[in-house]
Amino acid sequence: MSTTSTARASSDPPPTPVTRLDAMTEPSIFTRILRGDIPAEIVGETENAFAIRDIAPQAPVHLLVIPKTEQYRNVVELAAGDPDLLTEVIGLANTVASEHADGDFRLIFNTGAGAGQTVFHVHAHVLAGGLNEKSLGG
């Protein structure tokens, strides 16, 4: 009895490799910054989060505070999945706002493309140093 009914003949084309979906997903721009693949000014860090200067500032001081993991796409997912990490992000925002401005700051999490989110790796915008209402837009 043959046990090779599913074996390929040598003339068959090779099978299509099975590729895991997550292996096809590009790391986010913030993960690439964290890895050092893309330059950025890192202004603060905790065990699980880091802060950089935004490349297109919308306020005199415009920093981003970012969890090191990119598993949460927005603040709603982060709050539900890891509230301690959200607390750590807010604590780092407070620290960098004190170091780069007078400690008063506006914290914005754009949530969804319709709200202006362009990077789906959750991050907080820290706006400080003299704000006007336009800076509500992140």
Residues binding ligand AMP (CB under 6 A): 29, 38, 40, 52, 54-56, 64, 110, 116-119, 138
Largest pairwise CA distance in the chain: 82
Q: How far is the CB of 92 from ligand AMP (least distance, A)?
A: 16
Where do we find the tokens 């800076």?
A: 135
Mapping DSSP to helix (H, G, I), strand (E, B) and coil, where does residue 120 land?
coil
Nearer to ligand AMP, 29 or 131 (CB): 29
Can 100 be counted among the known catalytic residues?
A: no
- The CB-of-75 to ligand AMP minimum distance in angstroms stands at 11
Query: Given the complex with ligand AMP, which of 23 and 113 has the nearer CB atom?
Result: 113
Give the helix ranges, DSSP H, for 20-102. 21-24, 29-35, 75-81, 83-100
